[in-house]
Structures are given as structure tokens and as C-alpha cells.
Amino acid sequence: METSKATEESDVGILCYISQLPGFRGILKQRYADFIVNEVDTDGNVVHLTCLEPPPQMVEETKECAAKVSDEKTSESKSYEAEIGLFRSLAGDSDAEKLESLISQVDSCTGSEDSVPHIVLSPDSNKTHRTAVHNFFKQNFKFLVTDTTDGPDASSKCIRVRLDSGGHKNNGRNSKKRKERGEKPFDSRGSSNWPEHLGKFLRFHLYKENKDTQEALGIIGKMLGIQSKSFGFAGTKDKRAVSTQRVTVFKQQASRLAALNDRLIGIKVGDFCHVKEGLLLGKLLGNRFTVTLRGVIADSEDTIKAAADSLGRHGFINYFGLQRFGTGSVPTHLIGATLLRGEWKTAVSLILDPREGDILLLFPCLDVIRMAREYYKESNDIEGTLRQLPRHLVAERAVLQCLKKCPGDYLQAMKAIPRTLRMMYVHGYQSYLWNHAASERVQKYGFDQVVLGDLVYCKGDDSEKETVGVNSECNNDNCDDTYDCSHLDETSGTDLLERKNTLVKVVTVEDVSAGNYTVDDVVLPMPGSRVIFPTNEIAKVYHDLAKKDAINLTESVHSVKEFSITSMTGSYRRVFQKPLDFEWELLAYNDSNKPLAETDLDNISKTGSTNIIKQEEQGKGEDNDLSDCTKLPVISRNSIALSTDTNEGSEREVESEQVSGSNWQETQMALKLSLTLPASCYATMAIRELLKTSTSVTYHKTLNQ
């Protein structure tokens, strides 16, 4: 198995194009600001960041809430002097003072309980006495919980005291059971005095630059003192991009989040409102993309025009992009295949072993990761490896920590990886099969007609016997692993069926002759137990490819359901996708450091709606002045010529910029695209159809050199 090179498009079944038109050169994501993503919510609204401050009415409501909480705390507060006095006689002055300090902090706490520290009582080697202390807290301080930790020496133990997650009014004994039941998808800790007329969730718009969604929310959660799982969002957005999306958080005040904007780097929050329900993965229609391709070189402008016109009219093959299979040299579908075969040890090795291609593929900092992998391979020292591995390598660290506790239990080690991440491997294999099937469908039957045996989405009034319904299945790919979430790129992070309970049928002779369906209705299955396959030659692709990998799509060789394709429902995906609201324009520019498209933050800065926007240093290097580019109108059927500034003033400006270190060059051309795609569609696949070149990171890095 070759794992030392970067994954190419052909490796994962991305083989065909719709049009036979020539492509042209263009650099994808030369700068992260060249890729702008705005979520489209379930009502069809494009999500933008428009205001960083909470509405005045919301500020007043939260002030009233805080005042109410303060009044109730004052009226309900209890003096624990008597209890502390009894505890002093039981545990001594030192521990009594620690307890008194803890209670004082609890009473003054206005935020999350996570912000209240714990205390550790003096070492105690007397088990009977420790039991008496535990019981004392159970009887007198029901809002506190205790446990026992190791003391400074082998013969002693210490009692740790901390605030219970249920607060003053709940002894917290059922908190574990609530977690096990999975009662709520969010962290339910918050103010019990929340006003009844307000929705329990604060919804806001998250704007981020060059960060994935989990990373951004992790930073915000840490600053608020709440867990990342408190947040809900509809889809994971690409890391190397500028994106805006909706997020919800349970029982938080807008003013607290807005106050973070001064300290957040590459992240902003705004457009606050209260809602009754939190966001869940898949609760979106799609994404609006603004993509700028730099360094465009074509035989003629007619070549660009013809390619763009074809993309708008015919669309593109709806492949799963390379991001689906990871940015590392070990693609996710290879790991998925080992899991489907029940080869747990091999799967662990693929995750942990050195990957030579990774260093060539991305950035020099990955040398640290390579060294950590090699160290583990040579020494088998788990502790030493964990010290070297960066914390964002969630999968690797989870596997190693499990192997430390359960040496040799490779299945358990795979299960130790967070579910949303470990399921990505099997879903990657499903996507691998789907891509190959889609390529075969185009090669055999083209892209302009429905053929006998195709699968199609039924019309609304169709009730043929051949129909089969499959429930929506959420394959949550949101993660923070080796691939640093960039494999999710511009997709929603979910693979929802495009319609819930959609009926799918096999095309008959009558359907073909009557023209009941168009090629836009054609779908192919993501393999699972509740899908049907086409009855033409395309079905053979699935089974033949799986057979080469020693996998049977109808039988499982092991009983581990989550790694069994026969235990998965399966789904359907359109073979062809047309971009919606497609617009494009050519731009001339001289400085590769200048932005060619405006972000939401740029628009806020122009309106002057807030004075907290600051020039941020992290990876920015971008000037929001667009004056150096000559905007050409959206191309019509008329030929156009590039216009550039050639006057003396412009020349002097060039010299000035060169002195300041800006990257001025000969006049170059860029192509700016704006398009909307449904959730789980890859914008990179639309760009691939346009350029007729690979979308791999390595390829586009070579264009920058």
C-alpha cells in the first residue's frame, strides 16, 4: 500500500469532466481571503456579519436578568458560619479557611461554574476521618461535591472539594445519568434565573479567518469559561478561508460575547438574537462562495468565457472533493477499508505510523509531527510520544492514550477516537466508491440524458412500486484531527440526504420514452443497508471495487456495527450539480498582497458601525484597499479587453509600494466567481470543471512558486 505520496484526484475516483472545452491556469487559495464562504440558512438567507454590538433592547433585557439574579442571590444567600464552625472542629483551621474562601467565590460567581476553582484539603491518612468529611459535605453543603485524590506520599490521601454542576439547588447525583441518556446536545449548565420570555439559546454570526469552526469555537468557549459542546452549528466551514456562519450557545448574554471582539484575533461575533432551539448539524440549505482565482492565464478571454458559460449551463460532476479524504498522505478511505475488514491493528498503524508525504505536502512545522511518529515507531514509548504530539492531533492522541491503558486492544483504541471523527473513515470509503461510480456513469452514458436503469429522485406525484425511501442520515464530519479539519473545506461538514424521506426509483423504458426525468434527477447511492443500486452497469463498479479491497457490501465480516457498512443506512447523492446564482467577473491587479474581494468585516469597517475593528497581525498581511485592481464588468457575450493604470501617478505608487515591501508585479488577471451550492457540495469541484486542472493543495502550491 503506497502511503508516501499525496493523494491525487485519480486515486479517489475523480476522473471526468462534463465539458470538453479547454481549461486555463488559475491559482486556487493563493491567499485564504481568496475563498469566502457565507452560510445559507434553512430559509434561504445568506448569513453575513453586519453588526458587532448587541441590540439595545437585548442589552436592557440582560441587565434586567442580571439584576434579578443578583436580587435572588441576595435573598436566597445563606450564612454558612455555623457549618464552617462545625467543619473547623472536624478538619482544623487551615481547611476551614479554604472552605470559607471557596464558598465566597461560589456566591460571587456570575458566569459558568467552570470558572470556580476547586480546593484540596490537607493530607489525611485516616480513612474513617475522610469518610466523616465526605458525609459532612453531603449533609451540609449539597451544592458541593467531594472525591479523593492521591496525597503527597503513599500513605496519605486528600479530599478535593468542588462546585457541583447542578449548582446550589441540585445535589448533582443524576448528572452522570443525564449525560448517559444524551438528553440534550448542549452543555445545560447556565443561569436557572433565565427570563421566561427569552429564548434559551443565544444565536450569533461567527466570522472567522484562516481557522476551522471547532478551533474558533474552542477559543471563544475558553474565554467564556464554557465547554465547546455548549455551541451548536449547522456545518463546519473550511479553515483556509474567510467564512461566516450561524452559531447558537445555551443561556449566554450577548454582551459577554460582544465584549470578546476586542481580544479575538481572526474571529468576530455579532448579529445577536435569542432563539428557542439550538442549531444542529445539517440545519442549512448550503453555502454562498466568493472565490478569487489569481494568476489567470488563458489562450484568450473567449476561453474563459466559454468555460464559465458551460459551468453555469451544465454544472459539474458532484464529486466528493479531495478534502473529503484528508490532506495527509494516508487518505481516510484507506483507513476506512481496514475498519470494514476488521483489521484494527492495521488501522491504528495507518493513523500512527510516519508519513513521509505529509512533510512535502503541507508546511515545515509538520516535521515535528513526523519526528513524533518516528519516535513512537522506534521506541513504542507512549508517554514520550504524547509529549511530542501537538494537541490538535485528536485521533492520534486518543489512540495512544487508550493503548496506554489497554495495551494491544486496537479496536478499543479506534473507538477511543471521538465518534464524529472516527466515522469519517468509513464515510470516506463510501465516498471513494461513489466517486468511481459517478465517473463510470459519465464515461458510459454521458451527462445529458437519463438512461435505462438509472436511479432518479421521484417526481412529487410519483408512486411507482419500484420506489424506496431512505431517511436522512447525518454523517457528521466535524472534527479536529490530523487533517486539521481542512479536509472538510467548503462543505457543510455533513452528508445529509438532499431531501428527507426522498423516494428513489429505477428508470424504466416507459420513463425514458416519455421523458419523465432529466439528468438533474439522476442520483447514485452511498452504500448502506437501505439503498438500492442502479440496474444498469454502474452497480458493478461498487461491488468490483469493494471486492478488490476484500470488502463485501452486503455482508460484514465482524460484529462492530459502527465500522460495518451493512449497519449503515446509506443515502443518495446527485450526480450532477449546477451552481445557483452564478456570477463571475475578471479583475486586473498588480499586487498579489491586495485583496480582490470584500469580506463581511471589510463592509463593517466601511460603514463605521463600530470602533473596535483593528488591523490584525496574525497571517493578515492584507490591505483592505481595493484601489489597485481594475474591476472588469461581469462578462457578457461581448468581447472585453483588460484595462490597467499606466499613468505616471500609478508608476510612482508602484515604486512607493516596492520600497515598503509590497509584492508588486506585472499586471495580472484574476477571475472572481460567486455561486451558491447545496450542503455537502464541493466548490472546488466546480472550479476543477472550470480550470480542467487538479484541485490538490500540492498542485496549487507549485503555481505559487
Residues classed as catalytic: 238
Q: Which has the closest alpha carbon to 495: 417, 418, 560, 431?
A: 431
Query: CA 233 to CA 330: how far, in whole Å?
Result: 29
Q: Tell me the one-letter amino acid at 349.
A: S
List CB contacts of 530: < 8 A, sequence separation 6 or more. 468, 470, 569, 570
3-state helix, strand, coil in the chain (%, to 5): 40, 20, 45
List CB contacts of 355: < 8 A, sequence separation 6 or more. 3, 4, 328, 329, 330, 370, 373
Q: Bin 585: left if φ > 0, else alpha if -120 < ψ < 50, else beta.
A: beta
Query: CA 662 to CA 594: how far, in whole Å?
Result: 9
Query: CA 439 to CA 320: how far, in whole Å?
Result: 12
Query: CA 204 to CA 677: how far, in whole Å?
Result: 22
**Quick check: 526 and 479 in contact, CB under 8 A?**
no
Query: CA 201 to CA 210: how far, in whole Å?
Result: 27
Terminal-residue alpha carbon distance, the chain = 31
Q: Which three cell numbers stand for residue 71?
A: 436580587
115 C-beta neighbours (distance < 10 Å), count: 13
**Quick check: 578 and 537 in contact, CB under 8 A?**
no
Q: Bin 124: left if φ > 0, else alpha if -120 < ψ < 50, else beta.
A: beta
Query: CA 87 to CA 136: how far, in whole Å?
Result: 8
Q: Which whole-number Å values give the CA distances from 42 to 7, 47, 543, 678, in the listed order?
A: 34, 11, 36, 11
DSSP state, residue 115: G
Q: Does residue 227 sit in helix, strand or coil? A: coil
List CB contacts of 611: < 8 A, sequence separation 6 or more. none
Query: CA 669 to CA 588: how far, in whole Å?
Result: 5
Query: CA 239 to CA 71: how far, in whole Å?
Result: 44
φ, ψ at 683 (rounded to 5°)? -65, -30
Exposed, middle or buried: residue 661 (CB in 10 Å: 0-12, 13-18, 19+)?
A: exposed
666 C-beta neighbours (distance < 10 Å), count: 6
**Quick check: 190 and 62 in contact, CB under 8 A?**
no
Query: CA 698 to CA 7: how far, in whole Å?
Result: 10
Backbone CA torsion sign across 366, 368, 372, 374: positive
